[in-house]
Amino acid sequence: MTTAFASPSTYVQGKDLLKTASKYIKPFGDHGILLTDDIVWGLVGKRFYTYLTDDGLKIEHVQFGGESSPEEINRIKAIAAENDAQFIISLGGGKTNDTTKAVGEQLKIPIVITPTLASNDSPCTRLSVIYSENGSFLKYMFYDKNPDLVLVDTSVIAGAPVKFLVDGIADALSTNVEAQTVRRARQTTLLPLNTQQTQAGLALAEKCESLLFRYAEQAVAAAGDHTVTPALDHIVEANILLSGVGAESSGLAAAHSFQNGLTALSGDVHKMSHGQKVAYGTLLNLVLEGASDERLIKFLTFEHHFGLPTTLKDLHLENATDDDLRKVAELTTQKGETIHNMGFNVTADDVFNGIKAVDTFSRNYFGEN
């Protein structure tokens, strides 16, 4: 058996961290690219740029076009090469991060990720999701290493709308559920090395879940008031670091495959965030593996409390036909999907029945029939 573990070279988290970020970046050189979109530039980017330049770094601000597409990657790569950039910094959300990782990987320069949201675990991973210019999914790009530096300013995270923190909690909640599934099945992880879990990766996934159940209530309250507290610190770390490294080094199963399977449909379901879709997928994962009532209810009530989808109606699929749900099930179980890490053969019919079982159980439990 060969095991592997991967993580960012350095992860730093703290309040008002952007003000002192230059000391962590300077070891990579004295000039680089800062990639951020217009909205983030106005909210925090201009101040961040000033902090960096006042500390002696030469920074070229590049406006992100909004899509992590091959065309956008090539455009920014050309700007970075023209400026002989020694490093590239992302300030923003998932697509900004993914584009930055792609540019840094192709130019072989250090990658610095500075997330403005704790809505997903992309900052720490060694992959990018690539879309066409019109926003259609194209492919995943896997890299040889994780970002060199991840800087998380918790005051910036606290300043964002609280729904983004809840989205990250939903995504992080799947981490240990899927990791334990992969452990039992002795399947491989997300690392492009065909390797199995280390105990370190599994421990991070378990710690991620522990922090969510212990501190999410306090953290959401703090974020709603845009304040930084120890509980918020714990949940930000769970959403970004523990979930990212835990999932990548421990593997995925049914929860994320279901999220991908929903692309078989059009409509309002795609107004839901990644984390919201994964939340329902986590319940599906538990049903498929035969979780006890006690365990399923623990996750169901947690998700319901934070307004996450636990029924088809919550996903805007109350009018979905059985044929619609079978299309989702077929795509969820297509070749190459991580649902095949369950450790037993999972058919489209199993998934179809599981989707309906989650919906029925939730409606019955909360008296919503």
| pLDDT of amino acid 293 | 97
Angle at 152 between CA 182 and CA 270, to 5 degrees: 60
98 contacts: CB under 8 Å, gap ≥ 6:
68, 122, 128, 129, 130
Give the number of C-alpha atoms closer than 13 A to the C-alpha of residue 27, restricted to the C-beta side.
10
Instruction: Specify the 3-state DSSP secondary structure of 2.
Output: coil
> Quick one: how far is CA 70 from the chain centroid?
21
| pLDDT of amino acid 139 | 82
**pLDDT tens by residue, 289-346:** 999 999 999 999 999 999 999 999 999 999 999 999 999 999 999 998 999 999 999 9
Query: Taking the alpha carbons of 291, 292, 293, 296 in that order, is the dihedral positive or negative?
Result: negative
CA–CA separation, 19 vs 40, rounded Å?
Answer: 16
Q: Closest Cα partner for 86 from 114, 108, 64?
A: 108
| pLDDT of amino acid 288 | 98
Task: Count CB-CB contacts under 10 A for residue 56.
Answer: 9
**pLDDT tens by residue, 120-135:** 888 999 999 888 888 7
- pLDDT of 53 > 80? The answer is yes
Whether residue 123 contacts residue 115, with contact meaning beta carbons closer than 8 Å, is answered with yes
Q: Closest Cα partner for 306 from 160, 167, 119, 118?
A: 167
Give the number of C-alpha atoms closer than 13 A to the C-alpha of residue 138, restricted to the C-beta side.
14
CA–CA separation, 143 vs 149, rounded Å?
Answer: 15
Q: Where are the domains of the chain?
A: 10-158, 161-365
Q: Where does the chain have alpha helices with state H?
A: 22-25, 38-40, 46-54, 70-82, 94-107, 154-159, 162-185, 199-224, 230-237, 243-250, 254-261, 274-288, 293-305, 322-332, 348-365
**pLDDT tens by residue, 10-21:** 999 999 999 999
**pLDDT tens by residue, 181-205:** 999 999 999 887 789 999 999 999 9
| CATH class of the domain comprising 10-158 | alpha beta
Inter-CA distances, 241 with 27, 120, 138, 245, 331, Å: 22, 10, 26, 6, 29
Instruction: Specify the 3-state DSSP secondary structure of 333.
Output: coil
CA–CA separation, 156 vs 71, rounded Å?
Answer: 29
| pLDDT of amino acid 191 | 87
* Longest Cα separation, the chain: 63
50-54, 73-77, 137-141: which has the minimum mean pLDDT?
A: 137-141
> Quick one: how far is CA 95 from the chain centroid?
11
Q: What is the pTM assigned to this prediction?
A: 0.94
User: Which residue type occupies 4?
Assistant: A
Tokens of 44: 């925090």
Inter-CA distances, 23 with 7, 13, 20, 356, Å: 21, 14, 6, 52
**CATH superfamily name and code, 161-365:** Dehydroquinate synthase-like - alpha domain (1.20.1090.10)
